[in-house]
Structure 1
Amino acid sequence: MAVTRVAVAAALSVAPLSSSRCRQVALPSSCRTLPTAATCCSTRASKPLQAAAAPAAGAVDEETASSPPSDPGKGVENLVIIGSGPAGYTAAIYAARANLKPVVFEGYQVGGVPGGQLMTTTEVENFPGFPDGITGPDLMDRMRKQAERWGAELHQEDVEFVNVKTSPFVIRSSDREVKSHSVIIATGATAKRLRLPREDEFWSRGISACAICDGASPLYKGQVLAVVGGGDTATEEAIYLTKYARHVHLLVRSHQLRASKAMQDRVLNNPNITVHFNTEAMDVVGNDKGQMSGIQLKRIDTGEESVLEVKGLFYGIGHTPNSQLLRGQIELDTAGYILVQEGSAKTSVEGVFAAGDVQDHEWRQAVTAAGSGCVAALSVERYLVANNLLVEFHQPVHEETKKEITDKDVSMGFDISHTKHKGQVIDEFGQHVHFVEIDIEEDPEIAEAAGIMGTPCVQFFKNKEMIRK
């Protein structure tokens, strides 16, 4: 799609201007001195600039870009993304915008839900851009649509087999097999659960696996809460929750904490935390309104049962990374998280990248997962280019209906009250500036003579000479 450039040239000053009042205007670098008799000149675009449509030599045309679904007999893909969620969808958006036309398998392993852990949450209040919060499913749906809009090929299927020991890599789901030059693993991690009888009923409605994600929610703020676990994760969550909760109970199955000594000291010396040793959570208790009202507890040493009144229960028993498909093929840490080079998404296998919670055992936030998805996609593009493997699928060209420019449009363009900035230099000249519009499409020779390469551009002249300081 050709770039439209329209300039608006400003015009003759009908009254002499004192040179002491003229200030140099901060102009775009494309604006140069106009060697003609005009007094004042400016330029503006008549409509938003569109992406240039003329494809480079060798570019794929629209018909080629609309390729059929992946098939083992139809060549090798640039990129396959396994997993969705913030990491997978962000990687898909960036890769699609880079014209890689990524193939995305959205499903988790073992029949999980496309969209990741956020599909099981209610309000997400810490993702930038949503001051009033947004539901997890809605956020994932928006990301998915954005990836699809830019040309990502999405399949709601679970990947059952991956082979990254061959070149190209082989990825197989229940419905198709795809070969690819690169792979992004964004399969996430699954929060470990206690499997309480009413756990599913109160999940995200009283039970959570992320204190940082949900602790500040109105559902828990100012309430009495409980955390299950005895390691660093549980103690960190208990301490974090004291910022918002009235009091926090830490439920530990053993007779001692497994956390570091420093974390133990912080918990045991915090007056807002009560530690219950040899205590096991048996079930969740609800009230007549369907809200969580407490936890049924059992003392492991005595067998005594009781109900602890709390409004929320947080699991601090860890996560399991969904890296089973890659075991024995790429390097994992002792907990099963994919190891990546520091500050990158590169794994131990060239061409294989990891993003999101499957490689992040520390932060596990939606925004950090999205950021790592961006890094992974950009890394893939560099890898494909460096190894001469990239096949570029250009975005289809859409014809745009050219809008007729009316006198009202022109006058609006010169109405300073409609601009974001007030135009202090023009205001200073009062009524002593006359404006003339120049359409650089219709008068390209004027634009060329003025050295105008783009819009918007403003040039001020006095007595047929450019005003300069």
Structure 2
Amino acid sequence: MGATRHSKVLIIGSGPAGYTAAVYAARAMLEPLLVQGMQPGGQLTITTEVENWPGESTIMGPDLMVKMEAHAAATGAEIVSDLITSLDLQKRPFTAIGDSGTTYTADSVILATGAQARWLGLASEEKYKGFGASACATCDGFFYRGKEVVVAGGGNSAVEEALYLTNFASKVTLIHRRDSLRAEKILQHRLFKHPKIEVLWNHTIEEVLGTEAPLGVTGVRVRDVHSGAESVVPCDGFFVAIGHAPASELVKDQLELHHGGYVRVEPGSTLTSIPGVFAAGDLTDPVYRQAVTSAGMGCMAALDAERFLAAEES
């Protein structure tokens, strides 16, 4: 039987939200325990250069997360390499079970499990992730100044990504498997009238093409859904915009969710539908999905937890 660990604040997740929450909780003398999860550092560990983190003109994503982890540890947070497989929020202390067999109990919980971009599931797409294949135009669009890019998708996310990329790219090709878009009409209107954007209808993406040394995207192989004919669309960057999946599996039957699975928090706070449980970062955010906004919410969650625990004690 595994050990049992108790903490005032249990932080689940180790991206910018989780590590920032750990820093602030530790500084409040709450002795937080952070469980890193399957991907310590979160989505930033699979990116390359980060050029929009305040104070760093450019830094590698994995390096930034190493520094954030070290900062959290230096302030006194305990960081545990484990994966939470179940979480009971129905009574206090809250109880979590780790893949290691350890049971974690806590007076408060900060959820910072993030979200993952949905990908097409192609082996070639996986190969070029971070080397020309991306799921975040806001993060990576800057690298494609004067170059041609492809966006896959047909909803609001795809149209918004395509429009954003026109700020940098010389040409944006939106590829959609149907003959109409699901995006809002006002977004479609902007898309269709933009001189830099071309739409390729009724096509699916079969393969991302590129170079080996160094790794880099040179185009995508597409297939006409009606005729089956294949062709190649040249591009320097490939962006997938078919939505994000919040990592809310642990709490989907316990907390109030919205927008397709994101944890709902009270406006202007990180309070969830259960007192003592707080949520921060991409797990709650279907709009911005930036490292800096996640970090800000991590700070908020720690402060909210501190106030909650102080009120409980008094």
TM-score under structure 1 normalisation?
Answer: 0.65
Instruction: Give per-residue Cα distances to partners, 1:224-270, cap 9 Å, x unaligned.
Output: 00100000000000000000000000001111010000000000111
1:183 is matched with 109
2:91 is matched with 166
Distance in 1 of aligned mates of 2:276 and 2:252: 17
SS at 1:330's partner residue?
Answer: coil
Distance in 1 of aligned mates of 2:98 and 2:281: 21
Q: Do the aligned partners of residues 366 and 297 (structure 1) sit closer, same or farther apart at CA in structure 2, a change above 3 Å counting?
A: same
Distance in 1 of aligned mates of 2:112 and 2:21: 9
Alignment partner for residue 227 of structure 2, among 297, 302, 309?
A: 302
Correspondence 1:97 to 2:27 = yes
2:313 is matched with 388
Distance in 1 of aligned mates of 2:32 and 2:3: 14
Distance in 2 of aligned mates of 1:342 and 1:301: 47
Correspondence 1:119 to 2:45 = yes
1:79 is matched with 9
Counting aligned pairs with the same residue, the percent is 45
Alignment partner for residue 183 of structure 2, among 235, 242, 259?
A: 259
Aligned residue type for 1:234? A
Distance in 1 of aligned mates of 2:228 and 2:124: 21
1:367 Cα deviation (Å)? Answer: 0.2
Contact 2:217 2:238 in 1 (8 A): no
Distance in 2 of aligned mates of 1:198 and 1:239: 25
Aligned residue type for 1:114? P
Aligned residue type for 1:147? A
Distance in 1 of aligned mates of 2:179 and 2:22: 47
Distance in 1 of aligned mates of 2:232 and 2:208: 9
Correspondence 1:248 to 2:172 = yes
Contact 2:224 2:230 in 1 (8 A): yes
2:256 is matched with 331
Distance in 2 of aligned mates of 1:88 and 1:287: 36
1:157 is matched with 82
Aligned residue type for 1:221? R
Correspondence 1:275 to 2:199 = yes
- Higher Rg of the two aligned structures: 1
Distance in 2 of aligned mates of 1:345 and 1:89: 15
Instruction: Give per-residue Cα distances to partners, 1:402-447, cap 9 Å, x unaligned.
Output: xxxxxxxxxxxxxxxxxxxxxxxxxxxxxxxxxxxxxxxxxxxxxx
* Structure 1: gaps spanning 5 or more residues: 1-69, 390-469
SS at 2:221's partner residue?
Answer: strand
1:144 is matched with 69
Distance in 2 of aligned mates of 1:155 and 1:206: 33
2:160 is matched with 236
Correspondence 1:209 to 2:135 = yes
Q: Do the aligned partners of residues 334 and 216 (structure 1) sit closer, same or farther apart at CA in structure 2, a change above 3 Å counting?
A: closer
Distance in 2 of aligned mates of 1:130 and 1:119: 16
Distance in 1 of aligned mates of 2:167 and 2:63: 28
SS at 1:126's partner residue?
Answer: coil
SS at 1:79's partner residue?
Answer: strand
Q: Do the aligned partners of residues 104 and 275 (structure 1) sit closer, same or farther apart at CA in structure 2, a change above 3 Å counting?
A: same
SS at 1:182's partner residue?
Answer: strand
Aligned-pair Cα RMSD in Å: 1.3
Contact 2:259 2:286 in 1 (8 A): no
Distance in 1 of aligned mates of 2:148 and 2:109: 45
SS at 1:387's partner residue?
Answer: helix
* Structure 2: gaps spanning 5 or more residues: none
Distance in 1 of aligned mates of 2:311 and 2:3: 26
SS at 1:127's partner residue?
Answer: coil
Distance in 2 of aligned mates of 1:221 and 1:87: 30
Instruction: Give per-residue Cα distances to partners, 1:348-376, cap 9 Å, x unaligned.
Output: 00000000000000000000000000000
Richer in helix (by share):
2
Structure 1 residues 403-414: aligned runs within 5 Å: none
SS at 2:258's partner residue?
Answer: coil
1:167 Cα deviation (Å)? Answer: 1.0
Distance in 1 of aligned mates of 2:89 and 2:123: 40
Aligned residue type for 1:222? G
Aligned residue type for 2:44? L
Correspondence 1:88 to 2:18 = yes
Aligned length: 311
Instruction: Give per-residue Cα distances to partners, 1:118-171, cap 9 Å, x unaligned.
Output: 00000000010002x001110000000010011111111110110000111001
Aligned residue type for 1:264? Q
Instruction: Give per-residue Cα distances to partners, 1:196-247, cap 9 Å, x unaligned.
Output: 1212210010100000000002xx2211001000000000000000000000
Correspondence 1:355 to 2:280 = yes
Distance in 2 of aligned mates of 1:327 and 1:269: 41
1:33 is matched with none
SS at 1:166's partner residue?
Answer: coil
SS at 1:382's partner residue?
Answer: helix
Richer in strand (by share):
2
